[in-house]
Amino acid sequence: MSIRLDPRRVNALKHLAGEAGVRPGDLVRQWVEERIDGARGDASSTAPPAPAGLQSRLDELASRVAALESAAGMAPAHPEPDPHEQQAPMEPEAPEPTAAPKRARRNAISAAPSGERVALHDEMIAVLREHGPMTAAELAGAVTERGRYAPPRSGKAIDAAMVSQRVSNPTYRSRFVRNEGRIGLAE
């Protein structure tokens, strides 16, 4: 969901969020939740805003969870122990069954490279040294086939347009030459 605000109000929101020690979006969400709870007549709407301390935030969260559990008719996840009752030693819980690992997509790209990151232009140069001049589409396919280059942010598969853009980029233009629709290495 997105909302439009006057820039002055956005600045005021950022200032208030900074004072509260939260992100502006979190502060807006908190305000909306309080307003909705108040409109429904929830008991939690009369609670004062949470102080900035971590412990008080944890206590408030624990009370909200307890209220939700009681409203849903569930037993609390961690009931308060009775100080007069003797505690039996706890047995370790059995590990939860894990789901079968998902099958990796053929062109899946990891956010963190397994080895040293290889730049697209360096990979293109290596392919051109091995195979000689190629079209942009052939070069893109050869780079993909080698599997050493991983796009840094987009995760988009390497295509002819990406290769052509790199060759045309002023930073790398001196390394490549175009001749009759083929890309080769500049000498």
Give the DSSP H/E element, type plus range, for residue 182.
strand 182-185
How would you class 150 by CB atoms within 10 Å of its CB: exposed for 0-12, middle for 13-18, buried for 19 or more?
A: middle
- The pLDDT value recorded for residue 50 is 46
User: Has residue 87 been placed in a domain?
Assistant: no
Mean pLDDT (whole number) for 1-30: 84
Lowest mean per-residue pLDDT among 12-21, 32-41, 57-66, 77-86:
77-86
Of 9 and 134, the structure prediction assigns the larger pLDDT to 134
Domain interval for residue 168: 120-185
- The pLDDT value recorded for residue 186 is 87
Summarize pLDDT for 120-164 with one digit per residue, the tens. Answer: 888 899 999 999 999 999 999 998 888 888 877 767 788 888 888
Q: How many domains does the chain have?
A: 2
- The pLDDT value recorded for residue 94 is 54
Check the CA dihedral 67-72-75-76 and report its sign.
negative
User: Has residue 125 been placed in a domain?
Assistant: yes
Share of the chain above pLDDT 70, in %: 68
Cβ–Cβ < 8 Å for 149, 99? no
Of 2 and 108, the structure prediction assigns the larger pLDDT to 2
User: Has residue 83 been placed in a domain?
Assistant: no
- The pLDDT value recorded for residue 110 is 46
User: Has residue 90 been placed in a domain?
Assistant: no
Q: Which of 31-45, 79-93, 103-117, 147-161 has the highest mean pLDDT?
A: 147-161
User: Has residue 101 been placed in a domain?
Assistant: no
Of 107 and 127, the structure prediction assigns the larger pLDDT to 127
User: Has residue 154 been placed in a domain?
Assistant: yes
Give the DSSP H/E element, type plus range, for residue 178.
strand 176-179
User: Has residue 149 been placed in a domain?
Assistant: yes
Cβ–Cβ < 8 Å for 118, 160? no
User: Which residue bears the tokens 């624990």?
Assistant: 62
Which CATH number is 127's domain given? 1.10.10
| Residue 85 pLDDT exceeds 80 | no
| Residue 117 pLDDT exceeds 50 | yes
User: Has residue 89 been placed in a domain?
Assistant: no
